Amino acid sequence: DIDQVLYPHDPDRARQLLEEADATDLQLDMIVGAGLTQFVQLAEIIQAQWADVGVDLTVRQGDPAPSADIMFTQQAADSSLSGASGRPDPSQYLYGRMRGDSFGNPGGHTTPRMEELITASITETDPAARQDILRAASREVAESLLEINVVIPQIPYAMRSNASFTPYLT
């Protein structure tokens, strides 16, 4: 029940918000794995969109293998454009990426509500109540911009002509 586009593309509004935040000379960098064509192309699109609102985004292409180390251990990048697999239980993803002290959240960005929902999601045992908690957590992530998912492709894989495809849990 979350709108598909909470924040529509609106460069004029973006410029206004940046000015209100006194972020008129904003310079950011983004790491992206070299050779990962789709990610490089997305990074270039994002870079152009940011430039349109006055933000200088440097795209740093490099070996994908150390990207996680650069982003999460060294905390030596402002952002990262990469793929992510889901988890068998959504609470694992929330715990690992949305808690203020999680390794997967190098900036420590969270909200008190998010922290409450994460705790509730790992302690609630009733499946229906837990589903409501996870929905509320999804809304909190989206509305608080704790993480921005640019695209979530659905890629089917098959090994034989008689194989059937069922989307995986994540």
Provide the mean pLDDT of the chain: 87
- Is residue 16 pLDDT above 60, yes or no? yes
- Mean pLDDT along residues 10-27: 93
How far is Cα 102 from Cα 95, in angstroms, rounded to an integer?
7
Calculate the alpha carbon distances from 134 to 7, 46, 169 in Å: 21, 29, 15
Mean pLDDT of 26-35: 92
**Secondary structure (3-state) at 136:** helix
- What b/e string do you get for 88-103 counting C-beta neighbours within 10 Å, with b at 16 or more? eebbebbbebbbeebe
The DSSP H or E segment spanning 47 is: helix 37-52
pLDDT tier, 140 (very low <50, low <70, confident <90, very high otherwise): very high
pLDDT(170) > 60: no
pTM of the model: 0.76
| Token pair belonging to 1 | 């029940």
Region 11-21 average pLDDT: 94
- The pLDDT of 121-141, averaged and rounded, is 95
Answer yes or no: are the C-beta atoms of 51 and 59 closer than 8 Å: no
- Please tell me the predicted confidence (pLDDT) of residue 168: 55
Name the band, by pLDDT with cuts 50, 70 and 90, for residue 31.
Answer: very high
Cα 74 to Cα 160: distance, rounded to the nearest angstrom: 43
Give the model confidence (pLDDT) of 35-85 as tens digits: 888 889 999 999 999 999 999 999 999 998 898 899 999 999 999 988 777
